[in-house]
Structure 1
């Protein structure tokens, strides 16, 4: 029996697919509705529907399930979406390279960050970049490492800034994706204990952890990289975890809580120092908190950063050197 030829090939897809179709498809996925996508794209709803219908015919598969509340990707559509993101990311990289080549001082850098680790490093690096090349656009997206690293591997981000994972395999389960990322450590991050500026504890010159144990605490969540150091801090003094606590890695939430109550909070030192300078918190004079992780940035290993991203990485390294002693670089 004669074996059938594959239905799709690189050449056949190149002939059939059109780049505007991919942009329309991406917008429909993002909005979850053909009507909403048509408004965003300044197209008519029938035009968007026709673009999706033509795409489904060219691919010979159903991309969306239509319903009263919008559209939902099919399993086939989800497969196509993964590749579409990569293709559109490569187009963005091409645009960046062309603009960099022609102007040398423009571009777009998309940064992913975990906000608890970026109160000082990221803002100062962006400020320095803007002073050098004010026409470079910077987009910051916030999320956990478990979301940011896969997005970086797919090309949706240019760099991830924040606390580096002690075990990359715990964040990225895919060996191929893990091999495509390089982590660069800039400095070690430690925790400190803070209270609101009006808290009576802010005026104490000496304090013991046991004096604070029965108070209300804000501590990092149990899945955070800082949590083992928190447990070790209390165990070293023969204490268990506080009974009255809030688990949070939201800097804005934690600032609001300590400023409006008598709670004490564990906070990354670099962030606490910035907030103390701004008069938002007071850092308690308590020793025994050792570094819990490296702070740095992560980039893809399989492609060179754009000129704009290279400038941003230079800014990150300069600020990192000023904040703390630089450490090693490690590829995962």
Structure 2
């Protein structure tokens, strides 16, 4: 005689179509490994690629995803010969999956920090203003104090970094603190999750490649350079308004020949291989000039155009490793402020 299935076991497979989800029902049905598999398939865009990364067979990954869709009563992916694409329902589930997995990472950090007192993992988001001076110096200070802490640096615009921080994918964002930065976030809940901490003000200066003939000029006017090709920040960057004002104060429009870029490597490559002129954050320009990678022209650039600092979540305490990095950022920021 077939034994009756208990309600708990029945709930562990799938809910009847249309039945409402609850935190208890999801906790019974979902497995954390399924979320990891789902995330890797989303990141790679392919079940085959995800199975290789996770050292699993493709049928095993496909079966797990099929079970996940049954448990959620919804289609997560549209499958094709080229890979998989998230459905609208899948995108909704992805947003919550990222938060759950980020919290698991924070839990692992806290447990490791409690047990060892000197280890952990900090994920930092940054852009050009901080990535050339402030962040490297802070990381160097941190590594001397706690060499076992792992630092992961992710580069991107604030419009990407701030929402990632609010979701818990980053521990801290280091760089420009723009006015109205919270408008880059999706809703009021995310806006209230972030705290911005300024460290110092940043100015800009005009730079060229080290071998540029302009380096031999003792006196220069902005009008002398206006017709040249310029590297300027992208229009959505915080610095763009200050750059436009810089030219307008001299009665000039924005140059016609421009490359809009906030990529350090691209800008340095252009400066080294051409006669292009660039506007660059002062702290970064001085660091590169000391390394012999560029020259700073005797031309007064825009004054302080932004505050540089860091942004953290306000609704959760930083891990021990993150707190050590924040202390190192304060020390490095204080030194940079005194040097200017």
Pairwise TM-score range, normalised by the shorter structure: over 0.9
Deviation at 1:84, TM superposition (A): 0.9
Which residue is 2:35 aligned to? 22
Q: After alignment, is 5-14 or 255-264 more displaced?
A: 5-14
Deviates more, 1:206-215 or 1:99-108: 206-215
Name the residue aligned to 2:139.
126
SS in 1 for 2:40: helix
The TM-score, its normalising length taken from structure 2, stands at 0.91
After superposition, where does 1:7-156 map in structure 2 within 5 Å? Answer: 7-156=20-169
| Mean CA deviation greater in 79-88 or 198-207 | 198-207
Distance 1:302 1:32 in 2: 32
C-alpha distance in structure 2 between counterparts of 1:77 and 1:247, whole Å: 35
What is the TM-score of this pair, normalised by structure 1? 0.93
Unaligned 5+ runs, structure 1: 327-332
Stretches of structure 2 lacking an aligned partner (at least 5 in a row): 1-17
1:286 aligned to 2:299?
Answer: yes
1:325 Cα deviation after fit: 5.4
Whole-angstrom CA distance in 1 between matches of 2:95 and 2:19: 21
Cα distance in 2 between the residues matched to 1:201 and 1:260: 15
What pairs with 1:111-260 in structure 2 (closer than 5 Å)? 111-260=124-273
Match of 1:269 in 2: 282
Matches of 1:290 and 1:134, distance apart in 2 = 37
Q: Is the 8 A contact 1:164 1:297 kept in 2?
A: yes
Aligned-partner Cα distance in 1 for 2:254–2:64: 57
- Deviation of the 1:288 alpha carbon: 5.0
8 Å Cα contact 1:187/1:325 also seen in 2: no
Deviates further, 10-19 or 154-163:
10-19
State which drifts further: 20-29 or 236-245.
236-245
Bigger CA drift: 68-77 or 304-313? 68-77
SS in 1 for 2:56: coil
Aligned residues: 323
Asked if 1:312 is matched to 2:325, the reply is yes
Pick closer, same or farther for the CA change 1:307–1:28 going to 2, 3 Å. Answer: same
Task: Tell me the secondary structure at the aligned position of residue 253 of structure 1.
Answer: helix
The runs of at least 4 aligned residues of structure 1 exceeding 3 Å deviation read none
CA offset at residue 181 of structure 1?
0.5
Q: Residues 142 and 324 of structure 2 are in contact (CA less than 8 Å); yes or no, is this contact kept in structure 1? A: yes
Give CA deviations for 1:181-232 in whole Å, capped at 9, x if unaligned: 0111111111100011111221333322122222222211222111111111
Q: Please give the root-mean-square deviation of Cα atoms over the aligned residues, in Å.
A: 1.7
Secondary structure in 2 matching 1:265: strand
**1:191–1:291: 8 Å Cα contact kept in structure 2?**
yes
